[in-house]
Each structure stands twice: as structure tokens, then as C-alpha cells.
Structure 1
């Protein structure tokens, strides 16, 4: 009798298939919530109707059962390709669990995600992931500066807000360069992001923000000034 040889997966290997997670989320689907979620996103995406707490609970259990030690970019790409928006959220949930493993070499992957199925909901998560890399590896600052000048408004929005919540760890010079690169804009999502970046940093350094507004007032949109001045 021929002996069957079982080959164990290599250490750190993952066994995740996005389709498997989709089936679990489909079991939690709610048609009424799906319609409401689609309407909230202006009809841009299809939804299963799985709210955030339930999605995260299911995804966490799935990652624990099937995930390996390394970042499984294959799973991320699979999830991103699915038509249901919860699958993109699940991909981001997964990357959040692996954020400490993200390295400069992963920035091109994050860029691809930012430029596919782009809207504020995914960009405002990706900015934190990219921001962690930029903060941990200062040699990547030229990359985020390049993004801040890109024709793609979503890459620029990501660059503008990538230092949110950094408080006294904020790189002022980098923040100023990125903001200046995006003045004189009419795009709502850019002007809103500028306001948010300044408003957030005003909690740490209100004097710096006041000076920035004073210096660039003529080039800033009223929306940006209004948001930036909220706590001043």
C-alpha cells in the first residue's frame, strides 16, 4: 500500500479565501439595511446589509481561524474585487490586524486599493494604514508628497489626512508641504480633508494652525477655514 504523505503548510502561510468569508457575511445579510447603506453611499456600491459590529465580529473569527502570520495580499485583492462593499471593509479590517507588519514595500499595494472602488469610506481607513508606514519609515515621505500632487483626488485626500491623530508626533513640515500642494482647490473632498487635518492638529498646536490660516487665507476654501477653525 502506498503511503500517503501529508505536507504541512509553511510557517506563516495563510489559508484564506474571500469567497469563504463572503458566505459567512451572507448569512448575516439584511435587505432593509442593505438598501439603507446603499442609499447612504449615494448608490455607488452594493451592500449585503451587514452592519459594522456584526461584520467585524465575523471577520475577526474568520481571520483567527484561517489567517497566517504574514500579510495575505492575495486575500485582500480577492476581497477588493467583490461587488459587495462589506468585502472591501473586511479587507481593511484584516489589514488593521496586520498593520504592525506593514512596510514601505506595501505602499504600492495600498495605492492600488486607494485607486480602486474609491470613495471616502475606504480612503479614510487607508490613510491610517499608510500613515503608520510613513511615520515608522521617514524615508517614505517623498512617496506621500508625490501622492499629494497626484491627479487622483483620492490619493491626495489620503495624503492630506495621513497624519490624523498623530498629535505631537505630527511632522509639521510634511503637513505644511502637503496642504500647500492642495490649496486653491474647488474639489469638496479635498477642501474637507484640509479642514480636518488642520482641525485635528489645532487640538495639539492651535498657534501653528492659526498662523497657517492667516498665511494662506486667500488660497483656502471657506469650507477648509470653517473646519480648521472649529476649536480655535
Structure 2
């Protein structure tokens, strides 16, 4: 059964308007350095809006979800874009390579980690778990001029890393050149790339500590303190001590 796209779009916008908090919106806009408009609706409330809608629309096909998500993404409101991403994440089990067009649109238009990170982990990562062809896109994204796209290349395997899986050889191929950083990189660019590399390593550490330990030991002189700190945080204490002694 098809859903009425315009009607469902109205549901999401009416829900956001009802929960709008101008004071929170002002603070969030400032915190995210956002050029978008903000309703000021918290993430838990956004998740509830999506959950209630999804539970009431089990018949919604992935194709209709993509159409609705696309309309929400084209909004100039931060929370509508967030719902666009989270709506697809809710249907992640149905996402396939054929949906990469809208996902790439999102990742190239997104201007904040608040959208980039779930796109990488929940959307691209979910497709990657089912279709290894997605891995072939990561080296291309890793060399993109847009540092948010490079961050996606780093974080896309996080779901698999959490399970002790993923292609760590490819991960190293992607991130080692980034450790050198570009002379023209902005302060923001350096922070978000450094943080992403450390975050990905941290997610892998509990299941594959030997891989993370060897990587940090080999490349710690090339990486920032932030990357090293984040990457080593979840290693066994003995390995953390060894790294400190060797640094």
C-alpha cells in the first residue's frame, strides 16, 4: 500500500512545529554553527516522532520512504533534514546500492557532523553489511575535496568494527594518507578528520585490540594527540601502558 507523501510530510512538519522551542533552537544553531533554520526539538523527541510514525505505517515501502526522505532533506530546517536521515535509518534493512543516489546527495549537501555521522554509520554502513560493493566507493570518497565526505569514508565501517569485522586493510589505506594532513586544511577540517580516525579505531578496539594496538604503535608519531587518545581509549589497560611507554 502506498502512503500519501504530502500528508505524511505534513505530519512531520506539524509535529515539529508543535514541539518547537525557540530558545533551544537558538542555542543549537549556535553550537552547530548552522546556517539552517532550527525548531529546537531534541534528538530523543525527534526519534519518538519517527518511531510513532513508523509503527503506524508498517506498509510504507522503501521507495516511498526514500521519496518522503528526499522531500524532508530538501528543507531548510535542520530537524527536517535529521528526520530525513533517521527515516532511512529506520528502514535500513531495506536499503540497497540502488538507493545510493539519495544518500550521496545527502552526504554532499550535509554541513554538520549531526547529519554526516548517521549517514555514514546508519545508512552507508547498513548497505555495506549486506553488499560489499559499497567498500569500493570508500577510496574515492577518501580523496574528496569535501572533508565531510572524507569523514564518511572513515566512519562507514563503524557498524562492522563494533562486531570485530570490517576491512581493516582498506581502512588503513584510507586513513594513513590523512594522518599527514594538508597544509591548506582548516582548523575545523583537522579536528573532524582527526576525531573520526580515532573514533573508528576506538570502536574496533574492544573486539580486535591487536589491530588497533599495532596501528597506533606504528603510526603514533604521524598522528595527532586527539587521534591517539581517542583510538587507544578502549584498548586493554596493559596495551595502553605499552603505547605510552613506547611513545
- The equivalent residue for 2:100 is 107
For the aligned residue pairs, the C-alpha RMSD in angstroms reads 1.9
**Whole-Å separation in 1 of the counterparts to 2:215 and 2:107:** 28
- 1:118 deviates by 2.0
- The equivalent residue for 1:213 is 216
Structure 1 99/159 Cα, relative in aligned 2: closer, same or farther at 3 Å? same
- 1:99 deviates by 0.4
Which of 171, 176, 183 pairs up with 1:180?
176
- The equivalent residue for 1:157 is 151
TM, length-normalised to structure 2: 0.82
Q: Deviations for 1:9-40, whole angstroms, at most 9, x for unmatched residues?
A: xx4x2322334421221011112221222222
- The equivalent residue for 2:62 is 70
**Whole-Å separation in 1 of the counterparts to 2:90 and 2:197:** 28
- 1:165 deviates by 4.0
- The equivalent residue for 1:16 is 5
Which of 58, 68, 81 pairs up with 2:49?
58
**Whole-Å separation in 1 of the counterparts to 2:213 and 2:111:** 32
How many pairs align? 221
Deviates more, 1:123-132 or 1:184-193: 184-193
- 1:155 deviates by 1.1
Which of 87, 93, 108 pairs up with 1:94?
87
**Whole-Å separation in 2 of the counterparts to 1:174 and 1:14:** 40
TM, length-normalised to structure 1: 0.86
Query: Contact 2:70–2:102 at 8 Å: present in 1 too?
Result: no
**Whole-Å separation in 2 of the counterparts to 1:42 and 1:152:** 17
Query: Contact 2:39–2:77 at 8 Å: present in 1 too?
Result: yes
Structure 1 158/230 Cα, relative in aligned 2: closer, same or farther at 3 Å? same
- The equivalent residue for 2:166 is 170
Name the SS for the 1:219 alignment partner: coil
- 1:50 deviates by 1.4
- The equivalent residue for 2:197 is 194
- 1:149 deviates by 1.7
Query: Contact 2:103–2:119 at 8 Å: present in 1 too?
Result: yes
**Whole-Å separation in 1 of the counterparts to 2:225 and 2:45:** 39
- 1:64 deviates by 4.4
**Structure 2 segments unaligned to the other structure (5+ residues):** 235-239, 241-247
**Whole-Å separation in 2 of the counterparts to 1:68 and 1:84:** 24
**Whole-Å separation in 2 of the counterparts to 1:174 and 1:24:** 42
- 1:170 deviates by 2.3
**Whole-Å separation in 2 of the counterparts to 1:159 and 1:25:** 31
Q: Deviations for 1:48-75, whole angstroms, at most 9, x for unmatched residues?
A: 1112222222233334446622233221
Q: Deviations for 1:130-182, whole angstroms, at most 9, x for unmatched residues?
A: 01112211122111221122111111101101121423222222222222242
Higher helix share: 2
